[in-house]
Amino acid sequence: MTDNARARKLADRIQVVVAETLDRRIKDPRLGFVTITDARVTGDLREATVFYTVYGDDEERAASAAALESAKGVLRSEVGRQTGVRFTPTLAFVPDALPDNARTIEDLLDKARTRDAEVREVSTGATYAGEADPYRKPEDEDDEADTPGSTDKNEGPASA
């Protein structure tokens, strides 16, 4: 069992090694514009998940995924050579969903902005349904003493 700090350091190193190896050594024409976004290693340091994004359409993403799968052996041997760990972790490549999630959030924010603009247009020139100041204000002490049925604050209830 290992600590999380060591697993995180190894994951960071794997991310750098895989990105550099893809840039310098892998010459697969199917490999498009791939960006390695993150890497995670299990607690026992046996398996590494490498997250990536591909710039392009679905066809280019599928071709890049196939290229990464075919280059997995070369990448794993390079990771083992450069990290120097006893057991080189197996690599699994997973497309990163972060850009899709960011795009969805941006679309939702755009919808919210348009709805806010519509509400702003409708409310322009509108007035309040009630008074301008809907909160009750305490009356002056002189007014309280003049009103019938009021009791002084210092007096208790009348006893019979």
For residue 153, the model assigns a pLDDT of 55
For residue 89, the model assigns a pLDDT of 92
Tell me the average pLDDT of the chain.
83
For residue 16, the model assigns a pLDDT of 93
For residue 47, the model assigns a pLDDT of 93
Between 22 and 155, the more confident residue is 22
Write the secondary structure of the chain as one string of H (helix), E (strand) and C (coil).
CCCHHHHHHHHHHHHHHHHHHHHHCCCCCCCCEEEEEEEEECCCCCEEEEEEEEECCHHHHHHHHHHHHHCHHHHHHHHHHHHCCCCCCEEEEEECCHHHHHHHHHHHHHHHHHHHHHHHHHHCCCCCCCCCCCCCCCCCHHHHHHCCCCCCCCCCCCCC
For residue 146, the model assigns a pLDDT of 56
For residue 128, the model assigns a pLDDT of 72
- Residue 4 clears pLDDT 80, i.e. is over it: yes
Over the stretch 39-62, which tens digit does the pLDDT of each residue have?
Answer: 999 989 899 999 999 888 888 889
What's the pLDDT band for 152 if we cut at 50, 70, 90?
A: low
Backbone angles phi, psi at 46, to 5 degrees: -100, -25
For residue 28, the model assigns a pLDDT of 80
Where is average pLDDT lowest: 46-50, 106-110, 132-136?
132-136
The pLDDT > 70 percentage for the chain reads: 85
